[in-house]
Amino acid sequence: MPRILNHAPWLVLAVLGAFALGTVALARGETINALWLVVAAVCTYLVSYRYYSLFIATRVMRLDPARPTPAMRHNDGLDYVPTNQYVLFGHHFAAIAGAGPLVGPVLAAQMGYLPGMLWILAGVVVAGAVQDFMILFVSMRRDGRSLGELIKAELGDIPGVIALFGTFMIMVIILAVLALVVVKALTNSPWGFFTVAATVPIALFMGVYMRFLRPGRIGEISVVGFFLLIAAILLGGQVAQSETWAPVFTLTGIQITWILIGYGFVASVLPVWLLLAPRDYLSTFLKVGTIVMLALCILLVAPPMKMPSVTRFVDGTGPVWSGSLFPFLFITIACGAVSGFHALISSGTTPKMVENELHTRFIGYGGMLTESFVAVMALVAASCIEPGIYFAMNSPPALLGTTAESAAQVINNWGFVITPEMITRTAQDVGEVSILSRAGGAPTLAVGMAQIFSELFGGKGMMAFWYHFAILFEALFILTAVDAGTRAGRFMLQDLLGVFFKPLQRTASWAGNLIATGLCVAAWGYILYQGVVDPLGGINTFWPLFGISNQMLAGIALILATVVLFRMKRERYAWVTMVPAAWLLICTLTAGVQKVFHSNPAIGFLAHAERFSTAANEGRLLAPATSMEQMRQVIFNDYLDAALASLFVLVVLAVLLFGIQSCLKALRSDRPTTREIPTGGATARAGD
């Protein structure tokens, strides 16, 4: 009897969660409060953590608190340090939380908040948190090895190289798309551009301060940096109003693109202490602080959800991104539901610092649940602004035109009430000239956050400040990701190219360094440029490509986890990873094939190329091309994008085949064939 009583509070939570979710799902026509979503999410997280993650920990993995972790065996006070689980949770969360969970749900809101909400909750419980937890476990049992090394060890050398190559391509796409978000937010926005540009001298000052003036005072300089950022936001407001300075900082998308490309190149060859590290400190603290603040503000303000729970765009005709609910919703929201990039983090520094095997449940599964909550908050912020404003901000100029009047007319035709005055007033409230066609999530989220924050602090007068605070917060960590990513991409590329030409491999050589950096920047810069000149707004085309690649990486990670379970002879529990892997493969392969072959030019790259070829042959020009040469460029890009999408599909299919092969081989064996470090193996190291 007492055992049953133990479950009583959890039963109450489950019922409460089901009731909240029912309220969210069944609301038709009437506006519901955002708190219902928060309650539904939190109850789902708590119950799934209590039961499902415990099941995985005890039955599937059989975590053993007595087994020495890598931190215990190789303790060196630097890379391998047994660390308190709450401290390590903070580190892990800061590493996995980025722009992904903030952007995806905002874009998904075009279908209403309900489809996105359901996928975030179901996805994280069954797929995302399971992946993070499993990879953390697999890596921890193998001395904290990286995902590439793990795939090599468990599936074989060839799939290992394929997966590494896939990871590099994914990184190029992610950098281009993230940079595109920044360009969309800063185009023709002197306030935003000035503030973000000011972070560079601020970071340089912090770097010099920490290096020469007061070495090692991280806390002190971070506080100084934070106040300088606030000053930059306030000064940006003055700049935007100044007749002399506003035009200097008013730049077109193409100008900002070239500045970003140049910046990415310079920033990733400078010494890390000068620019990258100090800005990383600022962006990490600002990111975590803002997420906590947003959570508190949503609880206190309890905003109503103005977006309908389901919009007419579930049929796939939406203006923000093209494609129907299945499969495209499931790749639009990646981080927050399931993200392949987390597999890289879970096999990075975290497994080397775990103090006790049992802690991985809280860090791996719990960390991802927290990230999912960030995605729910982003969905709330995007859904509590007027739907008309949402579509004005996220639809491409090809549909809206470039004036508030034309935009309002188009959006009214879609069935969302909006007047040109509402659009211009919102732009004035947030201190911008125009809010039209700022797709990419960041500006929409900034308007939502500004609305929520300003209800608590400062009222309408502070809205412009909060809007630019939110833009700064996102741009800051996206830029950090861009130069850290360019750096990482450079090392990967030097490794890959070094196979053909040895001298390139020396990461300390200036020539090899500059060539690899140049190639890496050129790769993402090229895609970024295409996105900026795209009349459909770029995000429309490239976010799905990013989603496909990221979810495919998750599929690869889950295939790896499945193979490991088979090799541990725990195949009766392999459904834990096989079910989410199968779902991800179904979604991503369908989406990948549709992106290449779909007959609608807005979705299929080949159909788009076909449309431009036909026009070119008839001597007609189609926007954005203004010359025949540009027409040929568009066609070439379409084939390039189609090749990229096909490549991702092939990479995943190859890993799937190798995975099935490894599982069958493990089934035939009568004993475990996994390559874990043995229980008492204080000195044994796998593979050595």
Partner 1 sequence: MSGLKSNLSRFRGYFEQTAKLMIGVPDYDTYLEHMRTRHPDQPAMTYTEFLDNRLQARYGAGKAGCC
The site for partner 1 (CB under 8 A) is made up of: 75-79, 81, 83-84, 86-88, 90-91, 94-101, 146, 167, 171, 174, 215-216, 218-219, 272-273, 276-277, 280-281, 284-285, 288, 334-335, 339, 341-342, 344-345, 348-349, 353, 480-481, 484-485, 487-488, 491-492, 507, 550
Q: Where are the alpha helices (DSSP H) in 124-189?
A: 129-140, 147-155, 157-186
Instruction: Pick the closer one to partner 1 by CB: 147 or 185.
Output: 147
Instruction: Pick the closer one to partner 1 by CB: 402 or 507.
Output: 507
Could you tell me the smallest distance in angstroms from the CB atom of residue 560 to partner 1? 16
Could you tell me the smallest distance in angstroms from the CB atom of residue 320 to partner 1? 20
Instruction: Pick the closer one to partner 1 by CB: 455 or 495.
Output: 495
Helix, strand, or coil here: 560?
Answer: helix
Instruction: Pick the closer one to partner 1 by CB: 86 or 227.
Output: 86
Instruction: Pick the closer one to partner 1 by CB: 288 or 456.
Output: 288
Omega prior to 624 cis, within 30 of 0: yes
Range 254-282 burial, b when 16+ CB lie within 10 A, else e: eebbeebbebbbebbbeeeebbbbbbbbb
Whole-angstrom Cα distance, residue 37 to residue 33?
8
* Spatial CA neighbour of 191 closest among 150, 249, 121, 140: 249
Instruction: Pick the closer one to partner 1 by CB: 62 or 217.
Output: 217
Instruction: Pick the closer one to partner 1 by CB: 33 or 146.
Output: 146
* Spatial CA neighbour of 682 closest among 74, 81, 145, 144: 74
Place of tokens 């060890």: 153
Contact 643, 611 (CB under 8 A): no
Could you tell me the smallest distance in angstroms from the CB atom of residue 382 to partner 1? 18
Instruction: Pick the closer one to partner 1 by CB: 39 or 353.
Output: 353
Q: Where are the alpha helices (DSSP H) in 461-599?
A: 463-498, 510-533, 539-567, 575-597
Could you tell me the smallest distance in angstroms from the CB atom of residue 687 to partner 1? 17
Could you tell me the smallest distance in angstroms from the CB atom of residue 366 to partner 1? 15
Could you tell me the smallest distance in angstroms from the CB atom of residue 340 to partner 1? 8
Whole-angstrom Cα distance, residue 435 to residue 448?
13
Contact 455, 301 (CB under 8 A): yes
Q: Which amino acid is at 575?
A: W
CB atoms within 10 A of CB 9: 11
Whole-angstrom Cα distance, residue 318 to residue 574?
38
Contact 446, 474 (CB under 8 A): yes
Could you tell me the smallest distance in angstroms from the CB atom of residue 551 to partner 1? 11
Instruction: Pick the closer one to partner 1 by CB: 429 or 483.
Output: 483
Helix, strand, or coil here: 310?
Answer: coil
Could you tell me the smallest distance in angstroms from the CB atom of residue 352 to partner 1? 10
Alpha-carbon distances of 128 from 122, 150, 555, 660, rounded to whole Å: 9, 19, 10, 22
Could you tell me the smallest distance in angstroms from the CB atom of residue 464 to partner 1? 29
Q: Which amino acid is at 109?
A: A
Place of tokens 């693109």: 257
Could you tell me the smallest distance in angstroms from the CB atom of residue 276 to partner 1? 6
Instruction: Pick the closer one to partner 1 by CB: 187 or 480.
Output: 480
